[in-house]
Amino acid sequence: MKIDGGCHCGAIRFEAEVAADRITICHCTDCQNLTGTAYRATVAAPGESFTLQGAPTIYVKTGTSGAKREHAFCPTCGAPIYSTGPETHAVYSLRIGTIRQRHDLGRPRGQGWSRSALAWSADLTGIPKHPTQPQY
C-alpha cells in the first residue's frame, strides 16, 4: 500500500510503497536506546519506492556484527524517520509512528532480540488504560 508520513515538526516528509504485513518489532538494546523507549516498530519499504523531502541528519551505527546502518532523524524535532543499509539503500526501515496510515497497517509479524525485551512489554493487559492524558 502507498503510505506517507513525516516528522513531528514537518521538516521531513516521505512517501513509500509498503506491504502491510511487513511490520516487525525490535527489542534490541540499540533500538531501545535510539528510540528512547521500550522497543521499535518498523515497516520495510523497497528503496526504489521511497522518496524523501527535507534533509534528515544521518547517524551511522555500527552493530555488534560490524555491519553499518544509517539512522535518519529530524535535526529539529528529533523524530526518528528510517534506517537503511549504507550505499545500497535497498530497503528502508520506516518508523511506524511517523506513518500517517499507521492504523491501517497490519499487526507485526515478528519480534527480534526478545532476549533483551523489557519483561512488561510482552503483555500490557492489566495495565490501567485511559483514553486520553491520565492524571497520576
Helices within the chain (DSSP H only) = 29-35
Question: What's the closest the beta carbon of residue 90 comes to Zn ion, in angstroms?
Answer: 18
Question: What's the closest the beta carbon of residue 126 comes to Zn ion, in angstroms?
Answer: 26
Strands 23-26 and 110-112: parallel
Contacts to Zn ion from residues 19-48, by CB under 5 A: 26, 28, 31
| Size of interface with Zn ion, in residues (CB under 5 A) | 9
Query: Which of these ranges, 9-17, 57-65, 89-97, 101-109, lies near Zn ion under the rule CB under 5 A?
Result: 9-17
Q: Which lies closer to Zn ion via its Cβ, residue 1 or residue 33?
A: 33
User: 85, 71 in Cβ contact below 8 A?
Assistant: no
Query: Which of these ranges, 7-15, 60-68, 93-101, 114-122, lies near Zn ion under the rule CB under 5 A?
Result: 7-15
Other Cβ atoms within 10 Å of 26 Cβ, number: 22
Task: State the DSSP H helix or E strand holding residue 77, giving kind and residue range, or none if neither.
Answer: none
By CB neighbour count within 10 A (0-12 exposed, 13-18 middle, 19+ buried), where does 1 fall?
Answer: exposed
In the structure grid, which three cell numbers stand for residue 124, read together? 500490557
85 SS3 class: coil
Binding mask 59-78 toward Zn ion (x if CB under 5 A, else -) reads ---------------x-xx-
Question: What's the closest the beta carbon of residue 32 comes to Zn ion, in angstroms?
Answer: 8
Question: What's the closest the beta carbon of residue 74 comes to Zn ion, in angstroms?
Answer: 3
Q: Note the residues at the interface with Zn ion (CB under 5 A).
A: 7, 9, 11, 26, 28, 31, 74, 76-77
